[in-house]
Amino acid sequence: MEKYDVVIIGGGPIGIACGLEAQKKGLSYIILEKGPIVNSLFNYPANMQFFSSSERLEIDEIPFISKEAKPKRDEALEYYRRIVTSNKLNIHLFEKVTNVQKHPDSFTVITSKNEYTGTNVIVATGFYDIPNTLDVPGEDLEKVSHYYNNPHYYAGQKVVVVGASNSAIDAALECWRKGAEVTLVVRGPEIGQRVKYWVRPDIINRIEEGSIKAYFNSTVKAIYPESIDIETEGKTISIPNDFVLALTGYKPNFNFLEKLGINISDDAKRLPEYDQETMETNIKNLYLAGVICGGMETHKWFIENSRIHAKMIVANILRNEEKK
């Protein structure tokens, strides 16, 4: 069984940053990623543009040069891929972690392909893999998706987009511009305030001019093969419909965290327990890094403000090594 100072679960930007920092400090490490390099970013919409500028997405002070001030998905994929290959990071792709066993002085990390021993484990798995479901009849129909990739697929179709976040608004605008008949269903009274500042006026104008129909203070009640029922203004209405994009956000894999023994708050925020100075959880030598630290508050942590986690964690690991 291969043994490492650090086993990093998740090969996104923050997992890569942790690998870089471990490598710089002379620690043996392995990064385990269940998909391709930066799997979550790979599954973002094809035309997605980041809210952050390129320098805020940089890790380890490696320059990120983009064509525009706000880089797009493909530029980010190229940037992080080049970091992995140029630095010859020890990353195993398409290898899903299925279990982590705690021992007195180590962990056994079991994957779909192998087993590894690590003195320390870093969980940097993000939150994009598990969607917040609507929990309504018909949500399992083939016409319903919690992910969106390319607007061309929806050209000439009646599309209901559920949500008011960046992903929902981007999808609504892009599908409309490719010829879809778009209806937006929003639980709140307005378009979300966190929507990208250059996009929010666009969607508001499209709604006001009638190009995109929007129902505010509304919820989905049921989905059928050729229609969707929503509750709005105290009544239920049926809308003819071909596809539903339920882009209502995502959440961390809480079951996995609890299986590891990490304490999670039992309120709506579901915050995992960790030391804000070291990122160590209530389990000794088990750390969290990146957006997973925010629980259900997935808007609190981004690449730009969690890059520092890698340095914090590795510094603490080295301090612990010195104490031995």
What CATH number does the domain containing 226 carry?
A: 3.50.50.60
Nearest to 82 by CA among 8, 7, 20: 20
Nearest to 183 by CA among 141, 149, 229, 233: 229
Band of pLDDT at residue 48, cut at 50, 70 and 90: confident
Reported in sequence order, the residue ranges of the chain that DSSP labels E, i.e. its strands, are 2-9, 29-32, 91-92, 97-102, 107-111, 115-123, 130-131, 144-145, 158-162, 181-185, 213-215, 218-224, 227-232, 235-240, 243-246, 250-251, 286-288
Q: 28 and 120, same structural domain? A: yes
pLDDT of residue 274: 96
Band of pLDDT at residue 52, cut at 50, 70 and 90: confident
Domains of the chain: total = 2
| C-alpha to C-alpha distances, 64 to 51, 53, 58, 70, 110, nearest whole angstrom | 15, 9, 6, 11, 34
- Rounded to whole angstroms, how far apart are CA atoms 295 and 276? 14
- Rounded to whole angstroms, how far apart are CA atoms 17 and 12? 9
Other Cβ atoms within 10 Å of 62 Cβ, number: 14
Q: 191 and 231, same structural domain? A: yes
Band of pLDDT at residue 205, cut at 50, 70 and 90: very high
Q: 113 and 161, same structural domain? A: no
Residue where a domain stops, chosen among 215, 246, 277: 246
Q: 303 and 189, same structural domain? A: no
Residue where a domain stops, chosen among 203, 221, 246: 246
* DSSP secondary structure letter of residue 221: E
Identity of the highest mean pLDDT range in 125-139, 150-164, 249-263:
150-164
Q: 123 and 9, same structural domain? A: yes
Residue where a domain stops, chosen among 189, 215, 246: 246
Domain range for 232: 133-246
Q: 53 and 96, same structural domain? A: yes
Q: Please report which helix (H) or strand (E) contains residue 85, including its range.
A: helix 73-86
pLDDT of residue 303: 80
pLDDT of residue 50: 86
Region of 36 (left: φ > 0; alpha: ψ -120 to 50; beta: rest) is beta
- Rounded to whole angstroms, how far apart are CA atoms 302 and 313? 17
pTM of the model as a whole: 0.89
